[in-house]
Amino acid sequence: MHSTRNRATEFLKTRSQELGFLDCGIAKADYLEEEASKLEQWLHAGNHGSMSYLERNFDLRLDARKLVPGAKSVVVLLFNYFPEETIPETDNYKIARYAYGRDYHKVLKKKLKQLMNEFREEFGEVDGRCFVDSAPVMERVWAKKAGLGWAGKNTLLLSQKKGSYFFLAEMFMDMELEYDHPTTDHCGSCTACIDACPTDALSPYRLDSNRCISYLTIELKEAIPTEYDGKMEDWIFGCDICQEVCPWNRFSKSHNEPSFEPKEPLKSLRKPDWEEITEEIFAEIFAGSAVKRTGFDGFKRNIRAAGANPAP
């Protein structure tokens, strides 16, 4: 039995890297006791903004066995999205690096299904589910428990060797595997992310979503408050500032996933082009992209907000 656990664990870690994943860690599926009060306090403070879905399924978020009955192991995978080069920034607006190419949900879900199918072929019928930001899963908490990094002062998962430019994906399985151990916090006295945030969205280890540029340009459905005029720093979809200034990202290496390469128009457009973009061009450039989440009207709203001058 023990040898089967070892073989199964080794298979997942080896095969996942062959499929392009950056890393793989495994945690025991149980109740996230220490996270319960943290999540409750964060929600009670209204730090989730208008993302009311975060209030739902509270019990499912905290207990893997309720989300996936019979779950014994949570396999957490990292997938690199750091590009070889950024979209030109001179006289230009900015899009978060993760959204340069094809929607990661689609790319990673396909890879996860392949890994799960191959695992079943090797070890028999295993009951489980795959998740890519698609269910009430506390991804960063599970990644931390699986030894893949720690939750930094910018609230993102950080790795000493891999930085933070990666997606998280999970496989909940009803099979016992060899479990990894959590790592330690290595933010130290650094406050680079907090100091760099232009909207003061960050305090140590806590994010106020209401003030986050990523939230304002993606999740918020209403007009972006005028208090952020002059503070958007040209971001029109998402924001990478707290990652750009993080010392651990000096170790980031470019990805090898063709699906994440930006389309040519993204490299050539400049501010005047974005400001005059039509719905047809928007649909063409961002076909299959996460940017379509905002819709054309939301994207135009973001451009107006990013170009707005600060109030006198």
What is the per-residue burial (b if ≥16 Cβ within 10 Å, else e) of 170-208?
Answer: bbbbbbbbebbeebeeebeeeebbbebbebebbeeebbb
| Torsion angle defined by CA atoms of residues 195, 233, 288 and 225, in that order, rounded to the nearest 10 degrees | 90
Catalytic residue among 30, 63, 133, 174: 133
Query: Do both 198 and 56 map to the same domain?
Result: no
Q: Please check whether residue 231 lies inside any domain of the structure.
A: yes
Looking at the fold, whether 152 and 63 belong to one and the same domain comes out as yes
- The CA–CA distances, whole Å, from 212 to 44, 94, 137, 231 equal 18, 15, 21, 11
Residue at 107 is within a domain: yes
Distance CA 156, CA 189 (A): 17
Find how far residue 269's CA is from the centre of its chain: 26
Question: Which position has the token pair 């910018």?
Answer: 154
The answer to whether residue 240 is catalytic is no
User: Same structural domain for residues 18 and 153?
Assistant: yes
187, 183, 177, 186: which is closest to 145 by C-alpha? 183
For tokens 């790795």, the residue is 159
- Number of structural domains (the chain) is 2
In a domain, 112, yes or no: yes
Which of 116, 146, 173 is where one domain is finished? 173
Q: Is residue 312 part of a domain?
A: no
| Predicted pLDDT at 21 | 97
pLDDT tens digit string along 260-296? Answer: 999 888 999 999 999 999 999 999 999 999 999 999 9
Strands 94-95 and 235-237, bridge-based pairing: parallel
- For residue 183, tell me if it sits in a domain: no
Q: Give residue 18's domain range.
A: 2-86+96-173
* pLDDT tens per residue across span 176-189: 999 999 999 999 99
- 288 in the same domain as 206: yes
Based on the fold, state whether residues 21 and 142 are members of the same structural domain: yes
0.85 cut: is pTM over it? Answer: yes
**Residue 30 CB contacts under 8 Å (≥ 6 apart), including other chains:** 63, 64, 65
Mean pLDDT of 169-177: 93
